[in-house]
Structure 1
């Protein structure tokens, strides 16, 4: 019973991670109108959050070794509360940037520390379900903002409501600190045994390939988030409403796919699940590239189902691939690499699409998938040779 309660808290923490992630895009039309800033200024906010997330991801394991996972997660969720309340009460754009700082720092630390805990201590199905709960949070966030706006309330009420949900979780985490004690002792033991520097971890066989996988996978997701609707409208001649609905189906299929993948892990290994997922993803990209009309629905469903298990499975494979002693530091790099991918690749591709053609979208997506597939095969090949630490 105690273990189930602890797992529930971990899942709730990941819902809280997803809640703020999708707010800015939904609320921004109201924010920029009220604060009288350029529409493109949202990019400054998102970049600030992303940079802070990368920094905290790289420092999370070091802090965990000093204060423990429970205290780090508690402090990180409290930072997101401060950021959300800051958004709700700010009266100018500069203070929005200030409020973005704790949001980013909190998100990166939660992402790395919780992923490291689940990868080291729980089965693969928990990792997939954990990331499905992120999808629940990312879905609920816009709904809460939408309900506030539909009831003629300010976007600020949406941020306050979500901040209140986060604050409730802070109290739950505070009273659950004893449940993290066992893991804290385990981390301390591993830390004492490990004399591996971050530089040597970075140089470990396969780590670069793993980091590239995260850059291109999360970059692929971000590219679809940012440009998928534009591709459907400009290239496939769909209406804005239809394109938006197809992209929403893509989000839903990722969440559903992660729930299904959790059950699939009882039947097949992580390695096979990764390969199968990447093949489904490639088929989905090809379907979107060549399809028209209702076939596009199926194409984006396949892309979503293909994406579903990739990120959580790559995280969960880290201790097996590179050893539990190094997994915390490597997961920090992996989370940071993912944020680099989503920060750099979608805007870069946007420049290329503007200069050439939006028809290039499925070509780049296909290349990203092939890079993922190649990296996965090479990492497993090196693993089979016994070139990784245990």
Structure 2
């Protein structure tokens, strides 16, 4: 019974982790109008959050070993909640940047520690569903902010609402702290996975960096597409901004829905097969979306197909880390993976912007296809090593 209660808390924690994602983008037009900031000033906040999140991810393993996963998650939630509430009371832009520091640190620590905890104690099915619940949070957060913007209260009410939700979760986490140390279950071996060998391969040092590199490539492709798809649809496919926004929402929605669907078959297929199938499907979808001159309907179908292909890649790669490496090493590698994921989600999409300025918007998606093909090669090499 305690096992299932804790699993429910873990799911809710990932909804909470996803809540702030995407909120800043929705609220920024109103925030910058209130504070008299240029459009590009949001980059200072996002870079601050990214650097802090990546740093927290890299050190999460050491902190978890000292105080435990539950304490890290509860403490991190207690950092992000006041930061979000503080956003609504910030008197100037400089305060927003300062508040982005605890917000980034808290998010990065939760991400790395929860991913390792689920990989170590639950099956691939739950890892996919875990990231599906992140999508629920990432969809709900902008919805809450959108409702606040539509009301007289404005963006400050949205930030406060999300902050108080996080604060409520922090209280629940502290009250249930003892449950985390009682979780000693191990995930079942997936039907599609390899049997445990009699002689485990020694860990090759290059694998400790190759595994994180796969996350840089994957998140760069997923987030780069999410960031620039609307511009591509408007600038080269003739859609309106409203239509383009809908299709980008469907792209992220297909990733979320795909993760819940994949969870039903994940234990039967195994992580490695899911990763190969997912990357292959995402590559086909990205290639269709990249083709210039195709009918808009086909182009948009390619975008959704890419989202469905992306669905199992991140959670399956993350879950497989606990099988590739011994537990202490896996914890460290997962921290690196999250750090590389944050870098891939921020630096590479920004480079896409420079590429689009220099060579045009049609140059973006062919690079995404190359990233996915390189990811396929990297995961094949990593499978051979581990």
The TM tier, using the shorter chain, reads over 0.9
1:329 matched residue in structure 2: 332
Paired residue secondary structure (1:210): helix
Q: CA deviation at 1:218?
A: 0.8
Alignment check: 8 A CA contact 1:284 1:299 kept: yes
2:191 matched residue in structure 1: none
Does 2:18 match 1:18? yes
Q: CA deviation at 1:300?
A: 1.4
Q: CA deviation at 1:184?
A: 9.2
Does 2:246 match 1:245? yes
Paired residue secondary structure (2:182): helix
Distance in 1, matches of 2:174 and 2:93, equals 33
Q: TM-score, normalised by structure 1?
A: 0.92
Distance in 1, matches of 2:93 and 2:50, equals 17
2:195 matched residue in structure 1: none
Alignment check: 8 A CA contact 2:128 2:263 kept: yes
Distance in 1, matches of 2:207 and 2:320, equals 12
Does 2:261 match 1:257? no
Does 2:261 match 1:267? no
Distance in 1, matches of 2:21 and 2:107, equals 9
Which residues in structure 2 correspond to 1:235-384 (within 5 Å)? 235-290=236-291, 291-383=294-386
Distance in 1, matches of 2:218 and 2:267, equals 24
User: How many residues matched?
Assistant: 369
Paired residue secondary structure (1:20): coil
Distance in 2, matches of 1:277 and 1:301, equals 13
Distance in 2, matches of 1:184 and 1:382, equals 28
Consecutive unaligned residues in structure 2, runs of 5 or more: 187-201
Does 2:38 match 1:38? yes
Structure 1 residue ranges, 4+ long, deviating more than 3 angstroms after superposition: 183-186
1:153-174 CA-to-partner distances (Å, cap 9, x unmatched) read 2200001000111011011101
Alignment check: 8 A CA contact 1:257 1:305 kept: yes
Q: CA deviation at 1:183?
A: 4.8
1:177 matched residue in structure 2: 177
1:130-156 CA-to-partner distances (Å, cap 9, x unmatched) read 000000000000100111111222200
Distance in 2, matches of 1:66 and 1:153, equals 43
Distance in 1, matches of 2:329 and 2:183, equals 16
Distance in 1, matches of 2:213 and 2:60, equals 20
Distance in 2, matches of 1:289 and 1:214, equals 22
Distance in 1, matches of 2:352 and 2:207, equals 27
Does 2:27 match 1:27? yes
Alignment check: 8 A CA contact 2:83 2:99 kept: yes
Alignment check: 8 A CA contact 1:288 1:362 kept: yes
Alignment check: 8 A CA contact 1:274 1:309 kept: yes
Does 2:3 match 1:3? yes
1:279-336 CA-to-partner distances (Å, cap 9, x unmatched) read 1001101221233221123211111111111111111000111222311000000000
Distance in 1, matches of 2:240 and 2:86, equals 37
CA RMSD of aligned residues (A): 1.6
Q: TM-score, normalised by structure 2?
A: 0.93
Alignment check: 8 A CA contact 1:69 1:184 kept: no
Consecutive unaligned residues in structure 1, runs of 5 or more: 187-199, 384-390
